[in-house]
Amino acid sequence: MLISDLHIHSRFSRACSTKITIANLEKNARVKGIDVLGTGDFQHPEWIKELSTLEEKEGILYTKTGFPFVWQSEISLIYTQDGKGRRIHHVMLAPSREVVAQITEYLLSKGRIDYDGRPIFGMSSIEFVEAMKGISKDIEIIPAHAWTPWFGILGSNGGFDSIKQCFGDQEKHIHAIETGLSSDPEMNWRISSLDKYNLLSFSDMHSMYPWRMGREATLFDINLNYKELIQAIRTKKGYAGTIEVDPAYGKYHWDGHRNCNVNFSPKETKTHNGICPVCKKALTIGVEYRVEQLADRPQGYKPKEYTDYKTLIPLSELIALHTKKGIATKTVSAIFDPLLNQFKSEFNILLKTPKEKLAKLIDPKLVDLILRNRNGEIKVPPGFDGVYGKPLLEKKDPEKQNELF
């Protein structure tokens, strides 16, 4: 079973850590327990120089120590369609260095690619997919963080009401969507038009630390080569589910205004007619509200056939919650590092390590927190308008929490 995170960024993307290097990505992927990463930003002229040092085999790149990467990037498209401004992000996967060179040549014909690892272009999603498929049928396009208000294909600002509406006759080439931090499979199951697509989860990480990398991931039961990976994404053969954070943890789950300290459930938003009671402007409408708008099935619906998923909060965040210290502090590292040395990876600790083995190294209350996390019992007051939800140490009802963390 392979744990993958195929949506990441390099240090050449805006608002990303300058410490993102191939060596640091490999180091922290091994810490996390991730088996394969996306490269991120493969068309950026500086990042591709570093990627060119990796050896390619069966469409997968390998470091000298054998850690694998998949050719991957993210593109931002800003355009007008059906009389409405659209702002959509797409992840793309590529099968080889040669195809990446052709993609880069095409993008250069449309604009600059050197200013940001996630470049912006004015073409439509239809035009983009048609162009990519003209280069190679093995390029895979995956709508990124599909429900995010600002750049999600189904988001409240600039999005569409269906995948078909976005891609038109090119929709036949779309096989999966990335659900994003603020939604999980159960939320997506409520929309029958999404049944035909695989539901993928990746981190969209902007820093390489273990509490960002792999916080969402997709599992594949395949031999690691590009052909089998794409087959799993397109057909579900070898697709084995996802690791998710609680969707309330995502920073666009509920509606609100960050600057006004207003955090509303969909019901509260409707009561206020979508208007912020503080500044009197339109609220940023989050993912839960948007799902309710498009849903044609009741809450809790499960398809007859579905692939299960696991909900987890990152280990460093649990330790920070327990110690009441910052996530990147020495206090957290002093607990995290011995656990890692003993049990090999964060995912191994979170998913597999028995209670009695954990109890030999850490406080019983932290053991309990890890086990509650493993069972999906950590409560999270919903994030909103760019603010992450913050997990609760106590077993409180998160919907009764309405404060800015």
Residue 188 belongs to domain with CATH number:
3.20.20.140
- The reply to whether 239 and 333 lie within a common domain is no
| Per-state percent for the chain, helix, strand, coil, to nearest 5 | 35, 20, 50
186: which residues sit within 8 A by CB, 6+ positions away? 300, 301, 302
Three-class SS of residue 127? Answer: helix
Q: Is the pLDDT of residue 104 over 70?
A: yes
Same-domain check for residues 238 and 339: no
Per DSSP, 254 falls in state B
Domain boundary among 248, 276, 298: 248
Output the pLDDT for position 395.
Answer: 66
The reply to whether 154 and 30 lie within a common domain is yes
pLDDT of residue 381: 95
Q: Are residues 118 and 233 in the same domain?
A: yes
Confidence of residue 66 (pLDDT cuts 50, 70, 90): very high
Does 283 fall in a domain? no
Query: Which residue is associated with the tokens 């991931």?
Result: 217
Co-location of 347 and 225 in the same domain: no
Specify the number of domains making up the chain: 2
In the chain, the largest separation of any two C-alpha atoms, in whole Å, equals 62
CB atoms within 10 A of CB 48: 20
pLDDT band at 394 (very low <50, low <70, confident <90, very high): confident
Confidence tier at 206 by pLDDT (50, 70, 90): very high
Average pLDDT over the chain, rounded to an integer? 96
**What is this structure's pTM?**
0.95
Whether 143 is in a domain gets the answer yes
CB distance 405 to 261 below 8 Å: no
64 lies in the same domain as 201: yes
pLDDT band for position 393 (50/70/90)? Answer: confident
The verdict on 189 and 72 lying in the same domain is: yes
Instruction: Output the six-digit token pair for 73.
Output: 């990037």
Task: Tell me the C-alpha distance between 387 and 398, whole Å.
Answer: 15
Quick one: 21 and 120 in the same domain?
yes
Task: Indicate whether 77 pLDDT > 60.
Answer: yes
Which one of 228, 248, 268 terminates a domain?
248
68 and 192: one domain?
A: yes
**Domain, as residue range, for 325:** 315-374
Give yes or no: residues 231 and 344 share one domain.
no
Q: What is the pLDDT of residue 225?
A: 98
Residue ranges of E strands in 188-246: 198-200, 217-220, 239-244
Residue after which a domain boundary falls, among 213, 248, 283: 248
- The answer to whether residue 308 sits within a structural domain is no
Of the candidates 1, 2, 3, 62, the one whose C-alpha atom is nearest the C-alpha of residue 214 is 3
